[in-house]
Amino acid sequence: MRLLITGGSGLLGSNLAFMAAGEGMATHAAYYSYPVKIAGATTFSLDITQASDVFQKIEKIRPDIIIHTAAITSPDVCEEDKDLAYRVNVTGTGNLVQAAKITRTKFIYLSTDLVFNGCFSFYREDDTPDPLSYYARTKLEGEKIVAANSKNYCIVRTAVIYGPSIQGGSFSEWIIQELKEGKQVPLFVDQFRSPILVTNLARALLEICRRDITGLYHLGGADRINRLDFGRILAREYGFSEANLSPVAMDDFGFKAPRPKDCSFDISRAKKTFQVRFLGAKEGISRLKELEDEGYSEQLRGALHGVRPQ
């Protein structure tokens, strides 16, 4: 099976490419500004906003499946630079979908729990989206483009992704780093989501490829949890004092992009369909620690040599 992963230098895409290549899949991973090398995979640069580049590279690779993880993922950056957000998250997605149509390539699109307004809990796939931020609007627009133009697609809405990355700064990496440095870590008590370990999500995405799963799925961790409680579990697992975690309210932060209060998932559709088991926060964090102890995180970073262009 020939796989093309966009966002190969990002948190999800790098883990996915590393795992897919490790399983012997013919893996092609695209980066944009952060060149990476992945053991067993072919990596190359791609700007998804450039239609001709997208068509040329997809035509050349002729992948069986595209997993589109690339995006401008910071809600505040999207709010401040709407043009960039639209070009990458909407136009870029459209370019990939059109190219995939020509090569009859299955399309897996990563979307977000932030498409919901957060007035409820445990969102299901048939609940009506109502995005609060420009980021979430562009991701939802991407969903619509995929559904309208692809004959063989899977849309995966996911939640806060945590775990090892090459560029650093995932939610768990940030907390651990701050605690290591003895800093006080402010964590929201008033936002509830369903965080998922990156390798757990990557396994589920590879299952979509293997079993040809289609449709719309909410793939998150098994727990609805706020960031402070997540931080507490993490601190305990890594042997740090919880005293360095401070409860804060999201509203006090004055973010550029509005954020929903509760966009936790109901993952019952995923549980019925997938063989992969979706881990709760405690299990996911203890698996994260195991991955580090087993040397996974080091191998990931070792296999992926990021070099920032001068």
Ligand X SMILES: NC(=O)c1ccc[n+]([C@@H]2O[C@H](COP(=O)([O-])OP(=O)(O)OC[C@H]3O[C@@H](n4cnc5c(N)ncnc54)[C@H](OP(=O)(O)O)[C@@H]3O)[C@@H](O)[C@H]2O)c1
Determine if 264 is a binding residue for ligand X (CB under 6 A): no
Shortest reach from residue 111's CB to ligand X, in Å: 7
- To ligand X, the closest distance from the beta carbon of 64 in angstroms equals 20
Helix (H, G, I), strand (E, B) or coil at 293: helix
Amino acid letter, residue 136: A
Q: Phi first, then psi: what are they for 59, rounded to 5°?
A: -60, -40
Query: Least distance from C-beta 94 to ligand X, angstroms?
Result: 13
How, if at all, do strands 106-112 and 65-68 pair?
A: parallel
Q: How far is the CB of 293 from ligand X (least distance, A)?
A: 23
Number of residues located near ligand X, criterion CB under 6 A: 28
Quick note: the x/- pattern for ligand X over 103-142, rule CB under 6 A, is -------x-x--------------------------x---
Least Cβ distance, residue 112 to ligand X (angstroms): 4
Q: How many CB atoms lie within 10 A of CB 168?
A: 12
CA-CA-CA-CA torsion sign (1, 305, 199, 214): negative
Residues 161-180 that bind ligand X (CB under 6 A): 161
Q: Residues near 91 by Cβ (< 8 Å), separated by ≥ 6?
A: 49
Query: Which CB, 131 or 243, lies closer to ligand X?
Result: 131
How many angstroms from the chain centroid is the CA of residue 30? 15
Query: Would you give the distance in Å from CA 110 to the centre of its chain?
Result: 7
CB of 13 to ligand X, least distance (A): 5
Q: Which is nearer to ligand X, 92 or 129 (CB)?
A: 92
Query: What distance lies between CA 220 and its chain's CA centroid?
Result: 10
Q: Does 12 bind ligand X (CB under 6 A)?
A: yes
Query: What's the longest Cα–Cα distance across the chain?
Result: 56
Interacting residues of 102 by C-beta distance below 8 A, sequence separation 6+: 55, 58, 59
Is residue 157 a contact partner of residue 216, using CB atoms and an 8 Å limit?
yes
The residue range among 40-48, 56-64, 175-183, 260-268 that interacts with ligand X, by the rule CB under 6 A, is 40-48
Q: Any contact of residue 230 with ligand X (CB under 6 A)?
A: no
Q: Which of 3, 4, 7, 224 binds ligand X (CB under 6 A)?
A: 7
Applying CB under 6 A, the residues found at the interface with ligand X are: 6-7, 9-13, 31-34, 46-49, 69-71, 73, 88, 92, 110, 112, 139, 158-161
